[in-house]
C-alpha cells in the first residue's frame, strides 16, 4: 500500500472541507435541534459529484475511488455526522447496490439521477424484529403474473420518507431458508409505497431515519435486481463497502471531537496555565491521537483492497468495528477534556458524543462485526 495521498485525493478532501465549513458548519446545531433534514445541502453536494463519488463518469458520476470517498466522508463528518451519514447511505447502499448488481437498463435509468442527487436514494434491509436476523424478514414479495406484490414494513431506513427511489430487500421464500430474499428497485410515488414514522433519535438528528411501508405495492419484474433468491448475498457484498463508509464516518466524528479537544485544551487555563500542560489531559490527547491513527490505517487497508477488487470482508469489518468504537471513546474523552462545558450545547463535543453511538450500531453492530471477523480468521 502507498500511504501517501495523491494530489487528486488531497484536492477532493480540501473541496469537501471547504464545502462543510461554508454550507454545513453554520447550521449544525440549528438542524440538530429542529431535526431538520436539509435536502438542499445534498443537491449542492450532488453538483460537486459527492453524491455519486464511485459512479463511473459514463453514468454521470464522479468516477473516483474509495480513497476519495473516504476523505469526503471524513471531512464532512468532522463538521456534522448527520450529513456524513446521509452521504454514506446514498452513495454506498442505494447507489452502490444498483451499481454493483443492477442490469444495464437499470444502471442507465437510475445512476445518473442518483449521482447528481436529482434523486435521493434509500436502501431497505432492516425491519423492526429482524435487524441482524435478516433471514426472518417479514416484508414479502409475491409473484403475480409479470408483477410482484410487496407487503410489509422496513424500519430505521435512512431517507425512508424523503428518498425518491429505494432498493428494498424482500423475502421471496420461506423464513430462514437458504436464498430466500430478492432485491427490488421501488420508486417514490408507486401506489402502495409510503413513508411512515420518522424516528426521534439521540444523535444524527439531521439525517432522516424513517419507516418504509408497502401495502399491496405492485411493481413489474423489471424492478427486480439479480436473480430471485440472490438478495441477501448481494446485500452482504454491498455492506462490505458500506462498512468502509461507516468507518470513515466514525473517523470523521473522532477527528472532529479530537481537534476540538486539542484546541480547547490550549485555550482553557487553570492554575495559571493551559490545561494541555497537565498529564491528565495531555495523556488523553495522546491516546486519542494514537487510536485515530490506527483507525485511519485500517480504513486505508480496506479501501486499498476494495479498489484492487480483492477480498476485504474481514478488513472492512475490522475497520468499521474499530473506528466506530474509537469514535465513541474519543468523543467521550473530548467531553471530559471540556469538563462542564462539554456537557453544554454551547460547545461542539456533546454532539460528536451523541452522534458517535450510532456508528457502533448501524450497518451491523460491533457484535456482528466481531462475528464476521471471527468467522474469517477461523476459516479453514
Q: Using CA atoms, how far apart are residues 350 and 357, in angstroms rounded to an integer?
A: 12
Strands 121-124 and 165-171: parallel
Phi, psi of 104 (to 5 degrees): -65, -40
User: Catalytic site residue 363?
Assistant: yes
Cβ atoms 180, 135 nearer than 8 A: yes
13, 165, 43: which is closest to 95 by C-alpha?
165
Residue 135 in contact with residue 229, Cβ under 8 Å? no
Mark out the alpha helices in the chain (DSSP H runs): 7-19, 28-34, 39-47, 66-77, 81-88, 96-101, 104-115, 231-267, 279-307, 313-338, 349-356, 366-377
Reported for 257-260, long-range contacts at CB under 8 A and 24+ positions apart, including other chains, are 257/288, 257/327, 257/330, 257/331, 257/334, 257/348, 257/349, 257/352, 257/353, 257/356, 258/285, 258/288, 258/289, 258/292, 258/330, 258/334, 259/78, 260/334, 260/338, 260/347, 260/348, 260/349, 260/352
The residue assigned the cell 450500531 is: 361
3-state SS assignment for residue 225 = strand
Rounded Cα–Cα distance for residues 225 and 231 (Å): 8
Say if strands 269-270 and 273-274 run parallel, antiparallel, or are unpaired: antiparallel
Which of 118, 363, 367, 376 is the catalytic position?
A: 363
How many Å apart are CA 139 and CA 228, to the nearest integer?
Answer: 15
All three cell numbers of 169, joined, read 430487500
Residues recognised as catalytic:
363
Amino acid at each position: 500500500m502507498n500511504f501517501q495521498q495523491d494530489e487528486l485525493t488531497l484536492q477532493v478532501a480540501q473541496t469537501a472541507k471547504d464545502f462543510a465549513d461554508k454550507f454545513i458548519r453554520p447550521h449544525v446545531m440549528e438542524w440538530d435541534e429542529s431535526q431538520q433534514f436539509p435536502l438542499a445541502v445534498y443537491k449542492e453536494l450532488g453538483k460537486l459529484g459527492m453524491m455519486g463519488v464511485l459512479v463511473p463518469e459514463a453514468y454521470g458520476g464522479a468516477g473516483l475511488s474509495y480513497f476519495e470517498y473516504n476523505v469526503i466522508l471524513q471531512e464532512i463528518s468532522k463538521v456534522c455526522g448527520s450529513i456524513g451519514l446521509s452521504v454514506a447511505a446514498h452513495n454506498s447502499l442505494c447507489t452502490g447496490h444498483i451499481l454493483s448488481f443492477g442490469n444495464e437498463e437499470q444502471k442507465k435509468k437510475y445512476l445518473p439521477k442518483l449521482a447528481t442527487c436529482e434523486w435521493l436514494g434509500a436502501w431497505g434491509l432492516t425491519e423492526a424484529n429482524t435487524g441482524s436476523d435478516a433471514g426472518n424478514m417479514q416484508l414479502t414479495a409475491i409473484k403475480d403474473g409479470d408483477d410482484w406484490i410487496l407487503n410489509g414494513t422496513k424500519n430505521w431506513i435512512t431517507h425512508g420518507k424523503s428518498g425518491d427511489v429505494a432498493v428494498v430487500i424482500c423475502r421471496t421464500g420461506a423464513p430462514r431458508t437458504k436464498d430466500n430474499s430478492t432485491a427490488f428497485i421501488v420508486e417514490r410515488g408507486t401506489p402502495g409505497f409510503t413513508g411512515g414514522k420518522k424516528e426521534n433519535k439521540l444523535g444524527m438528528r439531521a439525517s432522516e431515519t424513517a419507516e418504509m411501508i408497502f401495502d399491496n405495492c405492485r411493481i413489474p419484474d423489471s424492478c427486480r435486481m439479480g436473480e430471485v433468491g440472490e438478495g441477501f448475498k448481494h446485500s452482504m457484498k454491498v455492506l462490505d463497502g458500506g462498512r468502509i463508509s461507516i468507518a470513515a464516518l466514525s473517523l470523521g466524528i473522532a477527528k472532529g471531537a479530537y481537534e476540538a479537544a486539542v484546541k480547547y485544551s490550549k485555550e482553557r487555563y487553570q492554575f495559571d496555565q493551559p490545561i494541555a500542560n497537565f498529564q491528565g489531559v495531555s495523556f488523553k490527547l495522546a491516546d486519542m491521537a494514537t487510536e485515530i491513527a490506527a483507525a485511519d490505517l485500517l480504513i486505508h487497508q480496506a479501501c486499498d483492497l476494495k479498489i484492487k477488487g480483492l477480498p476485504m470482508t474481514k478488513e472492512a469489518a475490522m475497520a468499521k468495528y474499530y473506528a466506530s468504537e474509537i469514535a465513541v471513546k474519543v468523543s467521550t474523552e473530548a467531553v471530559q477534556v471540556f469538563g462542564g462545558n462539554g456537557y453544554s450545547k454551547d460547545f461542539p463535543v456533546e454532539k460528536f458524543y451523541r452522534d458517535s453511538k450510532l456508528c457502533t450500531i448501524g450497518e451491523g453492530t460491533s457484535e456482528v462485526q466481531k462475528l464476521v471477523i471471527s468467522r474469517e480468521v477461523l476459516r479453514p
